[in-house]
Amino acid sequence: EVHLVESGGGLVQPGGSLRLSCAASGFSFSDHYMNWVRQAPGKGLEWVGRSRNRANSYITEYAASVKGRFTVSRDVSKNSLYLQMSNLKTEDTAVYYCTRETVVLDYWGQGTLVTVSS
Amino acid sequence: SSVLTQPPSVSVAPGKTASITCGGDNIRSKSVHWFQQRPGQAPVLVIEHDTDRPSGIPERFSGSKSGDTATLTISRVEAGDEADYYCQVWGTTSDHPGWVFGGGTKLTVL
Count Cβ–Cβ pairs < 8 Å, chain A vs chain B.
55
Amino acid at A110: Q
Mean per-residue pLDDT pooled into runs of 10, chain A (118 residues)? 97 98 97 98 96 96 95 97 98 98 96 97
Residue A76, helix vs strand vs coil: helix
Q: Is the Cβ–Cβ distance between B68 and B17 less than 8 Å?
A: no
Q: Based on the number of CB atoms within 10 Å of its own CB, is A39 exposed (0-12), middle (13-18) or buried (19 or more)?
A: buried
Res A35: pLDDT = 98
Res B91: pLDDT = 83
Could you report the per-residue pLDDT of B20-43, keeping only the tens digit for each?
Answer: 999 998 899 999 999 999 999 999
Residues 6+ away with beta carbon under 8 Å from B56: none
Phi-psi region at B77: left, alpha or beta (left = phi > 0; alpha = psi -120 to 50): beta
Using only C-alpha atoms, chain B has a radius of gyration, in whole angstroms, of 13
Q: Is the Cβ–Cβ distance between A89 and A65 less than 8 Å?
A: no
| Contact status of B104 with chain A (Cβ, < 8 Å) | yes
B46 CB-side CA count, 13 A = 26
Res B26: pLDDT = 87
Query: A108 to chain B: which residues are within 8 Å by CB?
Result: 42-44
Res B97: pLDDT = 75
Could you report the per-residue pLDDT of B42-97, keeping only the tens digit for each?
Answer: 999 999 999 999 999 999 999 999 999 999 999 999 999 999 999 999 986 666 67
Q: Chain A: nearest CA to B23, how far in angstroms?
A: 16
Nearest to A34 by CA among A94, A1, A79: A79
Query: Chain B 22-41, CB below 8 Å of chain A: which residues?
Result: 33, 35, 37, 41
Residue A77, helix vs strand vs coil: helix
Res B25: pLDDT = 87
Residues 6+ away with beta carbon under 8 Å from A77: none
Res B94: pLDDT = 62
Task: State whether A47 and B104 contact (CB < 8 Å).
Answer: no
Instruction: Report the b/e string of A59-90 with b at 16+ CB within 10 A.
Output: eebbbeebeeebbbebeeeebbbbbebeebee
Determine the Cα–Cα distance for residues A52 and A34; give it in Å rounded to an integer.
7
Assess whether pLDDT exceeds 60 at residue B2: no
From residue B7, give the alpha-carbon distance in Å to each of B36, B59, B91, B103.
Answer: 15, 23, 20, 8
Res B3: pLDDT = 87
Task: State whether B99 and A64 contact (CB < 8 Å).
Answer: no
Res B95: pLDDT = 64
